[in-house]
């Protein structure tokens, strides 16, 4: 798949093993998401987060880009339609001249990713990279269809979505696991 980079790094593989375990405590899950995001940030650079789960990746990115201005887009999934519902937006000034990293642990259906990039384009953004830990082919296809110019950097391309539009094997609900809810 064009413009899809699956990062092959031994530390990232270790982190994914920890993240995939159901018994991983939320504190360790949160730290491991941040550690894995640092590896992705390093690879993606050769930050707008999608709240709430995307917050877990912000520290990993700003560790490598300390001068980054961080914006937030709040979205949640409608459990009946699987479409994103937005509830918050705080975008830094000047994104039209910046390279914007959109970060979210999961790229499942592609709904949140495409919504976020459309929203950022409406605010003047032009140059994007989407960074995530776990990706489904369906999300890649949708992001490619709607925003073919946006590179995707991910730790793993999983096999696909289940009947509830969750990535399998995936990580579970990353936001709930990061925040212990």
Tens of pLDDT, residues 23-60: 999 999 999 989 998 888 877 764 455 556 677 788 88
CATH number at residue 111: 3.40.50.2020
Domain count of the chain? 1
Which residues span the domain enclosing 128? 4-65+75-179
Confidence of residue 5 (pLDDT cuts 50, 70, 90): confident
Q: Pick from 86, 22, 13: which is nearest to 51 by CA?
A: 86
90 lies in some domain: yes
- What global pTM score does this model have? 0.78
pLDDT in tens, 106-161: 999 999 999 999 999 999 999 999 999 999 999 999 999 999 999 999 999 999 99
70 lies in some domain: no
């Amino acid at each position: 798949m064009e413009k899809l980079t699956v990062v092959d790094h031994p530390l990232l593989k270790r982190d994914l093993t920890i993240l995939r375990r159901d018994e991983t405590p939320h504190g360790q899950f949160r730290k491991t998401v941040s550690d894995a995001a640092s590896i992705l940030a390093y690879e993606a650079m050769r930050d707008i987060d999608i709240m709430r789960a995307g917050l877990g990746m912000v520290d990993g990115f700003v560790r490598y880009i300390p001068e980054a201005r961080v914006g937030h887009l709040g979205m949640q999934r409608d459990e009946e339609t699987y479409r994103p519902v937005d509830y918050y937006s705080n975008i830094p000034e000047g994104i039209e001249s910046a390279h914007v990293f959109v970060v979210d642990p999961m790229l499942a259906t592609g709904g949140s990713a495409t919504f976020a990039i459309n929203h950022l384009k409406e605010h003047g953004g032009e140059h994007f990279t989407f960074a995530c830990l776990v990706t489904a082919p369906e999300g890649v296809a949708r992001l490619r269809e709607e925003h073919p110019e946006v590179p995707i950097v991910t730790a793993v391309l999983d096999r696909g979505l289940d009947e509830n539009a969750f990535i399998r094997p995936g990580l579970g609900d990353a936001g709930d696991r990061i925040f212990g809810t």
